[in-house]
Structure 1
Amino acid sequence: MARPRAFDEESVLDNAMNVFWHKGFEGTSVQDLVDETGLNRASMYASFGDKKALFLRVLDHYTLKISAVRFAKLIEMPDGRQAICETFHDMIKSGLTDGRNKGCLMVNSGMELAPHDADTATLARQSFKRIELLFVDALVRAQAQKNISEGKNTRALARFLAGSAQGLQLMARRAADEATMRDFVDVTLSTLD
């Protein structure tokens, strides 16, 4: 019979996520992960595999824990246009506070690894597609509510909004000031008019 784990998996993933988020994949050593998670190397390898396997688990964890919350209003708010506007304004707030100099782990990882790592590239593409579809749904609601023009191509606009969300996260990572981020969001949201 296998022994039960003596650690909280979610806490380990949270701690590993923070290390990868701050240092990137290449900048994170196995010792960094051991130090931050509190696991010894043997437990880490037995439970999660090598560094890359843990990293891929962390990206899944990030999608469920952080990204899902970041884009939740696109699902939860009945008013599609308002959901889009609030999502972008919330991203500004996050980028200026707890997300300062962090950006989006998925975007950061895609920039760092996707050009030469198929697994990360696949996860980054899936993440973008998921966000695009959330924007499509909100735009379709907004059109039905007559809050945006029926002539708008919702697929093309959703792709633009998803790309703009990624761009805003990159701006947060490079510590753009609030005025710059607000200008960016204002122009982005003007595409809804």
Structure 2
Amino acid sequence: MARPPKFDREEALRSAMHLFWERGFEGTSVNDLTEAMGISAPSLYAAFGDKQALYDAAVDLYELTAVVPPALEAPTAREVFEQMLDRAVKLYTRPNHPRGCFVIADPQLRQRRAVGRAAIADRLRRAQRAGDLAREVNVEALTDYMDTVLRGLSAKARDGASRKQLRAAADLALQAWPTPTKGRVPSSPR
């Protein structure tokens, strides 16, 4: 009978997440992971599988508190963007965490970034159908804008920008939000 692991799995996963977040998949060795997690290589493999499975679990853990998914539930498209910016400013500059966005930072996560971008575009299309976003707004261009702003905030945070600096940039980005067509009253999104 296999013995239960003698470490806190969640804490070990959190340590691995931080290391992958700082260094990326390619820049992190199994030796680096075992040292950061405080476990042996056999324990790592027994608890998480291989390095790729551990990486995937770390990304999943990160995405539980990420910027985009929770913000997509906001009642209006503008509030979606506001919440994304608010979350990015706070999360990208948290003390005791790597700076910036894990998903944006690692080149290996291109597919996850594409999924996030598609979710934003879908939410904007729903807003447009509901009358919350003017029909003349180019959803693809607005999605690219939102994605570019988040990527920029992440890069600035990784380069050491303060929360105050990110907040100022986010506030300015929000000013570029398309204004509703005169005379139209947006309905609630469905």
CA RMSD of aligned residues (A): 2.9
Specify which of 134, 150, 162 is matched with residue 147 of structure 2: 162
Residue number in structure 1 paired with 2:86? 89
* Superposed counterparts of 1:1-193, under 5 Å: 5-63=5-63, 65-67=64-66, 70-98=67-95, 102-110=99-107, 120=108, 124-144=109-129, 146-178=131-163, 180-189=165-174, 190-193=176-179
Q: Distance in 2 between matches of 1:126 and 1:133?
A: 10
> How many aligned residue pairs are there?
178
* Offset, 1:105: 1.3
Distance 1:15 1:61, change over 3 A: same
Distance 1:100 1:13, change over 3 A: closer
* Offset, 1:165: 1.1
> Normalised by the size of structure 2, how large is the TM-score?
0.74
Q: Which amino acid in structure 2 is aligned with residue 164 of structure 1?
A: V
Larger radius of gyration: 2
Could you tell me which runs of 5 or more consecutive residues in structure 2 were left unpaired when the two chains were aligned.
180-190
Distance 1:90 1:151, change over 3 A: same
After the TM superposition, which segments of 4 or more aligned residues of structure 1 sit over 4 Å from their partners?
1-8, 144-147
Q: Distance in 2 between matches of 1:47 and 1:185?
A: 40
> Normalised by the size of structure 1, how large is the TM-score?
0.73
Residue number in structure 1 paired with 2:183? none
Distance 1:125 1:46, change over 3 A: same
Q: Distance in 1 between matches of 2:7 and 2:138?
A: 49
